Every structure is written in structure tokens, then in C-alpha cells.
């Protein structure tokens, strides 16, 4: 958000909150309400700009094993987060040369420009530095203001997309409002453009509230809009199913089912207590999984948590699997230690044990670690689901990302040693009523003063 080069040396020496906030400045009127970040760049632990540059060979090949060790030890310095994230999320192959990456980058930028131009021909405000927050289409499917919509044929795809655009705009206005970055309408419009183009291209899911929370840090960290889009697209590849919704369910239920199985295996006493409280479906963890703990951590700590998670989950085949999904690159045998070092700690354990359950992301074990941290309070104080929600709410800004990830790895090890296989949620449990979907959404974005726990008993019937 401001020039990073001059701040680098100061930050690595003092590592103070004041200097860190210079990268993500808070609006003066919001400073009293924004918790101080716990993350601080630490010399010798945090991946610095110098060590990052030293990890590349002369022709640009990246020693990803060295980078992962540093990230998992102390995160990434704010001055280089954007470019590091592009590798962690699979935008680029560490084994590629600088020339190959530049060629790919230019090709992708051209592709994004084409997609954006296609959207702009239908809604000219896209790419103008402005964005909309009022509906373009009325309840009868008719264009409200012809000056804002220039497309002539409103087929189903176009109509659904047009109905999303003002919803995206409303979410953009609410996104990270405490940050100075979003005082600029140009920056808000950049976020809106990326989400709008993504919604146009994703015919299946489109846009769902919460995607703005995932995209926002990328918009801030990466200057070029096209590069932001591709980074966000890669982030969504691993999270997309969480946003799939129907009249009776949402995709994150699969992860909630896995969470239930994990706690049942590693802490049956806690699981049985939650079942007695009518919380055995773990809906109270919905929001944590949906937006990757954005509400539970400060902005800077969220970025730290995400890069720790992505570093621990890193798979060297991620790039080729995204570029060519049909390739299905095989993971190495457990004996191939040299290749295994290119995997993050979490993924390495999965490869060694042959564990391939797609819903067992590190985020699920991270929620399990939070539950274990709050185990005693939940067992002693929780008399209902509302109490569980309140106890978990107390972790906001009080949770150490590194310790939580370390505990998550311990739970993963314990779980894999105890469970011979991961049990999936029975299909019948995914076919709940519309009431269940409503309850899930309430847990995801619960307004203050709304009592959601009282609904859970009705949903069980």
C-alpha cells in the first residue's frame, strides 16, 4: 500500500506493531476498535526479501524446499507477500525459469483483459474505476437503467450474472473498511472488477458472500489487477466447493463432517458433550472454515495464518494439476525423501500415510485445534450451542497463528494414527431441509443479537 523497500530494514530490526501497520495502515477513526496484530517479522525466522531472492537460481528456478522451511518457521515479510503467495497458491511452477514465468504472466494478463472486455461490453462501468451497489435487473428480469447495461440478449447466464453485480458491490463496501487502502474508490473498484469477472466465468457457483474476504488481501498485496485475478482463482481452486450452495446445504458441510469425525476420534469426550448440546454437526465452526478465520484474526495475522497454512499444505504438483487437471500427477513414494522435502509439513504427512481425503484440509484440523484449546471451558461452561459460539468468539485476536498450526499438526498426527480411514458424512445427512441451510447461513454471518442456537433443535427434527 506504500513503498515497501524503505521500510524493510526497519521492520526486520524493530519488528514493532507500528511499523507493521505501515504496510496495512488503519483509518484513524477505526484504530481504537482494531486489535493490534500478534505477528511481527523476526530476523532469522521470517522469510525476508534477501532470503527470498537468494532462493532463486541464476535462471530463476526456485528452491521451494528452502522457502517452505522459512515460511513454516516465521511467515513472509510484508514486502514480498504477494509474489510469494503466487507460488504457494500454484500460480507458478518453482521449477520454471524467470523467462517462462514472464511469458506465462503476459499470456494470462492478455486472457484476463479479454474476459474483462467481454464483461465491460455488457456493463460499461466495469473497468471504469467505479462500481455499483444498486440492482441492474428488476424482479421481472427487466433492465432498470439501460445506460448501465448495454447487452441486448438476457439469456440465463447473463441474467444471473447481472443479478450478482450489485450484491458484489454491497459486499465490497463492507470489506476491510478499517483499512486506509479501501478509502480509495479505485481500490474498491479493483476488488469489484476481479470478483465480477470471476463470477462471469464461474458458471456453476458464480459469487457467494465471503469470496470478497478471500480476495481482498490479494487485491492489497498484488498491484496488477490481472495477476490478482489469477492468484484469487488459484485460491478459490482449493476453497471453491465451500461456497457451493443449494436450497438445503452448502459445500462446507463436508468439512464440518470431517471435523466431527476428527474430534470424535481424538477427543470423544468433547465430541459427546457437543452432541449432548445439539452441536454434533459443528455448525458453530461454519464461518471459520468458510472464510479461513478472517473474523477471528486481525488483518495482518490473517495473512500470516494463511501463508503458514498454504506453506504447510504445499504440494509441488499443484501448478501442473491446476494447469492440466487431467494429468493427475502422482505423488512420490514415501521413500523419496528429496522430493518429500518440497512438500509442506501437513501435506508431507498425508503423502507418507497415503491419506487423500479431500475434505481434510489443514483448516479443518486448525478448527479442531481451537476446540482443543477451549476444551476445558466448553466441557465446564457450555450448556448449549450458544455458549459454544460465545466461547469460540473469545479467541478473536487472542489466538496465536503459529501455535494453532503447530497444534493442528499434532492433531493430524494423532488422528491419522488412530483412524484407519476417514469416514465421510452419509449422503442422507447432506439432504437436509431448507431450514438447515438457513441455520448454516446464520452461523456464517450472524448479526449481533440473533440467537441461532435455539434453532438447532428444530433442525434436528
Rg (CA), the chain: 22
Q: What CATH code is carried by the domain that includes residue 415?
A: 1.10.472
C-alpha cell at 321: 494439476
Specify which of 36-40, 61-65, 247-251, 452-456 reaches the highest per-range mean pLDDT: 61-65
- Least confidently predicted of 30-39, 56-65, 108-117, 156-165: 30-39
In a domain, 399, yes or no: yes
Q: Do 225 and 196 meet the contact criterion of CB atoms below 8 Å apart? A: no
| Statement: residue 215 has pLDDT above 50 | yes
CA distance 371 to 273: 12
* In 22-155, alpha helices (H): 49-54, 64-74, 81-88, 98-122
Closest-CA residue to 299 (of 397, 407, 225): 397
Quote the pLDDT of residue 461. Answer: 42
SS3 139: coil
In a domain, 324, yes or no: yes
Domain that holds residue 327: 244-422
Q: Do 221 and 325 meet the contact criterion of CB atoms below 8 Å apart? A: no
Quote the pLDDT of residue 117. Answer: 98
Burial 95-121 (b: 16+ CB within 10 A, else e): ebeeeebeebbeebbeebeeebeebbe
CA distance 233 to 219: 12
Question: ∠ at Cα 380 (379, 383), nearest 5°?
Answer: 80
In a domain, 314, yes or no: yes
Neighbours of 352 (CB within 10 A): 16
Percentage with pLDDT > 90 across the chain: 64
- Least confidently predicted of 94-108, 169-183, 409-423: 409-423
In a domain, 230, yes or no: no
| Statement: residue 277 has pLDDT above 60 | yes
pLDDT higher for 227 or 456?
227
DSSP state letters, 328-350: -PPPPPTT-HHHHTTS-HHHHHH
How many helices (H) does the chain have, and how many strands (E)? 24, 0
| Statement: residue 285 has pLDDT above 90 | yes
In a domain, 417, yes or no: yes
What's the Cα-to-Cα distance from 401 to each of 73, 297, 302, 459, rounded to whole Å? Answer: 12, 9, 8, 33
| Statement: residue 427 has pLDDT above 50 | no
Quote the pLDDT of residue 356. Answer: 67
How sure is the predictor about 190, in pLDDT bands with cuts at 50, 70 and 90?
very high
* CB-based burial label for 348 (10 Å; 0-12, 13-18, 19+): buried
In a domain, 264, yes or no: yes
In a domain, 40, yes or no: no
Domain tally, the chain: 1
CA distance 156 to 9: 54
Residue 333 DSSP one-character state: P
pLDDT higher for 398 or 389?
389
C-alpha cell at 94: 518453482
In the predicted model, what is the mean pLDDT of residues 48-58?
Answer: 96
Quote the pLDDT of residue 6. Answer: 43
Quote the pLDDT of residue 2. Answer: 45
Residue 35 DSSP one-character state: P
In the predicted model, what is the mean pLDDT of residues 237-262?
Answer: 85
Quote the pLDDT of residue 424. Answer: 42
How sure is the predictor about 331, in pLDDT bands with cuts at 50, 70 and 90?
low
Quote the pLDDT of residue 359. Answer: 57
Q: Looking at 303-455, which runs of residues are DSSP E strands?
A: none
* Run of H or E residues at 388: helix 385-393
Quote the pLDDT of residue 112. Answer: 98
In a domain, 279, yes or no: yes
C-alpha cell at 161: 450474472
How sure is the predictor about 73, in pLDDT bands with cuts at 50, 70 and 90?
very high
How sure is the predictor about 358, in pLDDT bands with cuts at 50, 70 and 90?
low
pLDDT higher for 250 or 76?
76
Q: What is the mean pLDDT of the chain?
A: 85
DSSP state letters, 216-251: HHHHHH--SHHHHHHHHHHHHHHHGGGG-B-SS-BT
Amino acid at each position: 500500500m506504500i513503498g515497501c523497500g524503505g521500510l524493510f530494514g526497519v521492520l526486520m530490526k524493530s519488528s514493532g506493531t507500528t511499523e507493521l501497520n505501515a504496510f496495512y495502515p488503519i483509518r484513524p477513526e477505526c484504530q481504537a476498535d482494531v486489535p493490534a496484530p500478534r505477528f511481527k517479522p523476526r530476523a532469522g525466522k521470517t522469510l525476508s526479501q534477501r532470503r527470498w531472492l537468494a532462493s532463486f537460481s541464476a535462471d530463476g528456478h526456485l528452491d521451494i524446499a528452502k522457502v517452505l522451511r522459512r515460511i513454516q518457521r516465521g511467515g513472509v515479510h510484508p514486502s514480498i507477500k504477494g509474489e510469494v503467495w503466487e507460488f504457494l497458491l500454484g500460480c507458478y511452477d518453482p521449477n520454471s525459469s524467470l523467462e517462462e514465468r514472464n511469458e506465462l504472466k503476459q499470456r494470462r494478463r492478455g486472457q484476463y483483459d479479454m474476459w474483462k472486455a467481454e464483461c465491460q461490453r455488457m456493463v460499461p462501468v466495469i473497468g471504469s474505476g467505479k462500481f455499483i451497489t444498486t440492482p441492474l435487473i428488476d424482479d421481472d428480469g427487466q433492465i432498470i437503467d439501460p445506460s448501465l447495461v448495454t447487452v441486448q440478449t438476457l439469456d440465463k447466464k447473463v441474467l444471473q450474472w447481472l443479478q450478482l453485480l450489485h450484491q458484489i458491490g454491497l459486499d465490497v463496501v463492507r470489506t476491510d473498511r478499517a483499512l486506509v487502502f479501501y478509502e480509495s474508490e479505485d481500490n474498491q473498484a479493483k476488488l469489484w472488477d476481479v470478483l465480477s469477472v470471476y463470477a462471469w466465468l464461474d458458471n456453476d457457483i458464480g459469487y457467494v458472500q465471503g469470496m470478497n474476504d478471500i480476495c481482498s488481501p490479494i487485491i492489497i498485496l498484488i498491484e496488477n489487477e490481472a495477476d490478482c485475478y489469477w492468484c484469487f482463482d488459484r485460491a478459490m481452486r482449493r476453497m471453491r466447493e465451500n461456497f457451493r450452495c443449494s436450497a438445503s446445504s452448502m459445500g462446507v458441510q463436508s468439512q464440518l463432517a470431517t471435523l466431527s469425525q476428527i474430534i470424535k476420534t481424538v477427543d470423544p469426550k468433547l465430541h459427546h458433550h457437543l452432541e449432548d448440546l445439539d452441536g454434533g454437526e459443528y455448525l458453530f465452526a461454519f464461518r471459520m472454515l468458510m472464510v479461513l478465520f478472517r473474523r477471528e484474526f486481525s488483518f495482518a495475522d490473517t495473512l500470516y495464518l494463511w501463508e503458514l497454512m498454504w506453506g504447510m499444505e504445499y504440494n509441488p504438483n499443484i501448478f501442473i494439476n491446476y494447469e492440466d487437471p487431467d494429468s493427475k500427477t502422482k505423488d512420490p513414494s514415501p521413500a523419496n525423501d528429496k522430493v518429500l522435502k518440497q512438500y509442506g509439513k501437513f501435506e508431507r504427512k498425508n503423502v507418507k500415510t497415503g491419506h487423500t481425503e479431500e475434505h481434510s484440509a489443514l483448516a479443518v484440523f486448525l478448527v479442531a485445534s481451537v476446540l482443543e484449546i477451549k476444551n476445558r471451558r466448553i466441557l465446564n461452561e457450555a450448556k448449549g450451542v450458544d455458549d459454544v459460539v460465545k466461547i469460540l468468539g473469545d479467541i478473536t485476536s487472542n489466538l496465536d497463528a503459529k501455535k494453532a498450526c503447530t497444534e493442528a499438526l499434532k492433531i493430524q498426527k494423532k488422528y491419522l494414527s488412530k483412524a484407519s480411514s476417514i469416514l465421510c458424512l452419509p449422503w442422507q445427512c447432506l439432504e437436509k431441509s431448507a431450514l438447515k441451510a438457513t441455520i448454516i447461513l446464520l452461523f456464517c454471518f450472524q448479526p449481533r443479537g440473533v440467537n441461532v442456537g435455539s434453532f438447532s433443535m428444530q433442525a434436528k427434527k
